[in-house]
Amino acid sequence: MLRSRIIPCLLVHKKGLVKTVNFKDPKYVGDPINAVKIFNEKEVDELMVLDIDATVENRGPNFEMIRNLAQECRMPFCYGGGVTTVEQAKRIIELGAEKVALSTSAVKNPLLLSEIGKAVGSQSVVVVIDVRKKGILSGGGYDVYIKNGKEKTGIKLKEFIQELNKIGVGEIVINSIDKDGTMSGYDLPLISTIRELTDFPMTVLGGAGNLEDIKFLISKFKIIGAAAGSLFVFKGKYKAVLINYPNREEKSRLFKEIQ
């Protein structure tokens, strides 16, 4: 049965854990394995790990890192970064990840999603869509980006979602470049746009600044994955690095207030 999830998203850059703002200026915040150990103790719903270097550097996934992360994780684990073949996806699942995420390769070759789905199960296939708002002079809406936000595709978001509907995937992750690292709240109009286009399980990333943002997101859109980066690695107005996550009581109260 599907339920709403609160998901820390870890970005890996040069083998370290980093946090970005608008996909730029990565700030080192620690070691990925240590972060996973802490999240284990905090009993997180699910963990997402994105290697933001892999596609930009034209290399495949770091299987050694994936193995180490999967061995340490005591929660469902989704990995993304550099996946371009069915064989890579199969190996990631075999190493212990529950889900494999694609972004650039999903845009360039959507049929790959179907091929991977046949090999590992469509429920394990996740598409991460990096989007940025268009300027007013461009007519509004959203542009789809690839290669960690470095390349605008020219593909219309609506058309891409419609193509995914035909192919079928397990989940989509909507990642707002404009909101990344700002802790200013999720892009609700963007989420509304996507929800009108598809009924796929959806996770939203970019902008969460506090638990109230998560509560509002879930209360408005019901079953949804509320993902965040900065919220779970920083603490306080000075953004001191501190791995954190709502405890059982806080989560129980949050979901009770939503009902």
Phi, psi of 13 (to 5 degrees): -140, 120
Q: What gap in Å lies between CA 57 and CA 8, rounded to an integer? A: 25
- Identify the active-site residue in 25, 31, 51, 130: 130
Tell how many helices (H) and how many strands (E) occur in the chain: 10, 14
Question: In terms of residues, how long is the chain?
Answer: 259
Angle value at C-alpha 33, between 51 and 149, nearest 5 degrees: 20
In one letter, which amino acid is 46? Answer: E
Q: Determine whether 130 is an active site residue.
A: yes
CA 152 – CA 130 distance, rounded (Å): 10
Token code pair at residue 259: 């009902």
Q: Which positions are catalytic?
A: 130
